[in-house]
Homo-oligomer: A and B are copies of this chain.
């Protein structure tokens, strides 16, 4: 299991492929589910130019380890990788990567979903968006679906 807070831009698929290479799970992991969250240029009806991601050093890492452990108790998980950016984020930068390896697809997909939903609602990160006419703290995360 690897959980890291990153100050620098990262390429998520290169990270997943590189991490998988060091895992000793050849022939065991029939399923991998990867979620990648990327900085959009719009949020809640406004055009967004960039943002600053703040976190609580120490607690954030601790909380992510707890989430991963909980997922491992609820589903059969062989390994997982969680990377999350902090600092100055530009449009199209990757913000978060969650990858879960399991023998079977249901376990990998449910665990990945569980981790990203908990991360969004409970992990201590805060976004401050730069808009055309100033800045604003994001007050809460969305439900995860487009609003019609």
Given known contacts A40-B28, A41-B27, A35 and B109 CB-to-CB distance under 8 angstroms: yes
Chain A residues within 8 Å of chain B by Cβ, number: 43
Which residues of chain A in 31-47 are interfacial with respect to chain B, using CB atoms and an 8 Å cutoff? Answer: 31-42
Q: Which residues of B contact A142 (CB under 8 A)?
A: 104
Contact of A29 with B by CB under 8 A = yes
From B40, B75, B102, A30 is in contact (CB under 8 Å) with: B40
User: 0/1 per residue, A8-27, Cβ < 8 Å to B?
Assistant: 00010110110000000011
Given known contacts A104-B142, A143-B106, A17 and B13 CB-to-CB distance under 8 angstroms: yes
The docked-state distance in angstroms from the alpha carbon of A39 to that of B27 is 7
The docked-state distance in angstroms from the alpha carbon of A103 to that of B142 is 11
